[in-house]
């Protein structure tokens, strides 16, 4: 278990899980359900299209969670997070940050670049910055630039993912960093959440399991594919965004591509701008942990399963 010091609001989580921001899929309905269930709900700012929709979405989320807290003062909702792509091609970043500032978004998850000015902007309204990294060098850079915490994206994570073993990645980061640390990569059971904590992480960062929830804004075929597939059906490629990530093999085949013979993409052509043409929209990102997903269920039911498995895993270890 970690002995790190956690800033508010991360020190008030009833369950050590952060729902990762899912491209296209995460929406206010899912974020609200996650937070009400006691885990951090998150979504990419770029999921709001047109850009003006982000204001409406943040209003919906903050109002729904405030109402929940008034009705259930004994079990308040977990905080929510917004993911910002800080890559230079994201021409919406400044505008989206301004909207986040108006709503005092409690947690901002930054990806694809460490920006000191972005971290300072978030800190100005009292927010916490969690930056996702795939190796120890990027982790050091993120903290040097002012991030509060890190998300270690290990091998097997859905969407943009690294290649490091979670054991190596957490060990190397924890050797020098004592702040908030989440682990991402094929976590879809309560047992895996406890294992992440045992390695030294404070939180498990879970995304792919939430694709197969009723609230997720994913095509029904996508949700069913998550249920039907397992780790053998995951392909690692940089073809679709210029950054290496994990994707469902059936969606690649459906696009007329050979998953065993995918060409490499030029990383310099990455484009995360507001008007970028999403040619990869029907290529489905997914991590290796989906063998644990047996059905499409409400987000609340998924979190209840994770809690139950987590408690059982703790009990097994206590009896060993």
Write out the H or E segment, with its range, that includes residue 111.
strand 107-111
Q: Tell me how crowded residue 149 is: count the other CB atoms within 10 A of its CB.
A: 24
Is the CB of residue 296 less than 8 Å from the CB of residue 227? yes
DSSP string for 291-309: GG--S-B-HHHHHHHHHHH
Q: How many helices (H) and strands (E) does the chain have?
A: 11, 11
Sign for the CA dihedral angle at 288, 290, 292, 298 comes to positive
CB within 8 A of 74, min separation 6: which ones?
Answer: none
Q: CA dist 138 to 41, 114, 120, 158, Å?
A: 25, 8, 19, 19
What pLDDT is stored for residue 2 in this prediction?
A: 64
The DSSP secondary-structure symbol of 255 reads T
Q: How far apart are CA 9 and CA 218, in angstroms?
A: 29
Closest CA to 218 of 184, 187, 248: 248
Q: How far apart are CA 179 and CA 149, in angstroms?
A: 6
What pLDDT is stored for residue 276 in this prediction?
A: 46
List the domains of the chain with CATH numbers.
17-219+294-317 (3.20.20.70)
DSSP string for 187-223: --SHHHHHHHHHHT-SEEEE-HHHHTBTTS-S-HHHH
Structure tokens at 62: 């903050």
Q: How far apart are CA 42 and CA 39, in angstroms?
A: 10
Q: For every one of its 320 residues, what pLDDT tens digit does the chain have, with 9 covering 90 and above?
A: 567 778 989 998 999 999 999 999 999 999 999 999 999 999 999 999 999 999 999 999 999 999 999 999 999 999 999 999 998 889 999 999 999 999 999 999 999 989 999 999 999 999 999 999 999 999 999 999 999 999 999 999 998 899 999 999 999 999 999 999 999 999 999 999 999 999 999 999 999 999 999 999 999 999 999 999 999 999 999 998 888 999 999 999 999 999 998 888 766 555 555 554 455 678 999 999 999 999 999 999 999 999 999 999 999 999 86
Q: How far apart are CA 42 and CA 26, in angstroms?
A: 7
Closest CA to 307 of 17, 45, 2, 88: 17
Structure tokens at 185: 């990569």
State the greatest distance between any 2 C-alpha atoms of the chain, in Å, as a whole number: 56
pTM of this structure = 0.94
What pLDDT is stored for residue 270 in this prediction?
A: 54
Q: Residue 112: phi, psi to the nearest 5?
A: 60, 55
What pLDDT is stored for residue 12 in this prediction?
A: 87
Rg (CA), the chain: 18
What pLDDT is stored for residue 121 in this prediction?
A: 98
What pLDDT is stored for residue 269 in this prediction?
A: 56
Q: How far apart are CA 31 and CA 72, in angstroms?
A: 18
Which residues sit opposite 297 in a β-bridge?
A: 213
């Amino acid at each position: 278990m970690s002995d790190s010091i956690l800033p508010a609001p991360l020190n008030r989580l009833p369950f050590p899980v952060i729902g990762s921001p899912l491209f296209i899929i995460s929406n206010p309905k899912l974020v609200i359900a996650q937070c009400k269930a006691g885990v951090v709900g998150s979504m990419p700012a770029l999921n709001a299209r047109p850009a003006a929709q982000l204001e409406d979405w943040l209003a919906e989320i903050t109002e729904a969670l405030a109402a929940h807290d008034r009705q259930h003062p004994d079990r308040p909702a977990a905080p929510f997070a917004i993911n910002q792509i800080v890559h230079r091609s994201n021409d919406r970043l400044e505008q989206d940050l301004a909207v986040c500032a108006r709503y005092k978004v409690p947690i901002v998850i930054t990806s694809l670049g460490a920006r000191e000015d972005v971290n300072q902007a978030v800190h100005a309204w009292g927010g916490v910055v969690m930056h996702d990294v795939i190796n120890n060098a990027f982790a050091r850079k993120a903290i040097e630039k002012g991030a509060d915490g890190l998300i270690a994206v290990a091998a097997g994570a859905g969407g943009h993912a690294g290649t490091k073993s979670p054991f190596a990645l957490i060990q190397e980061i924890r050797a020098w960093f004592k702040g908030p640390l989440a682990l991402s990569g094929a976590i879809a059971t309560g047992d895996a959440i406890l294992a992440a904590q045992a390695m030294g992480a404070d939180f498990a960062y879970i995304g792919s399991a939430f694709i197969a929830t009723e609230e997720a804004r994913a095509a029904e075929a996508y949700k069913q594919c998550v249920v039907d597939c397992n780790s053998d059906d995951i392909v690692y490629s940089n073809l679709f965004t210029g950054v290496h990530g994990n994707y469902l093999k059936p969606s690649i085949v459906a696009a007329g591509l050979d998953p065993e013979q995918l060409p490499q993409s030029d990383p310099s052509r990455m484009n995360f701008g507001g008007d970028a043409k999403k040619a990869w929209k029907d290529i489905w990102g997914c991590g290796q942990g989906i063998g644990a997903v047996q059905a499409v269920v409400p987000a609340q039911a998924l979190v209840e399963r994770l809690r139950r498995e987590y408690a059982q895993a703790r009990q097994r270890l206590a009896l060993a």
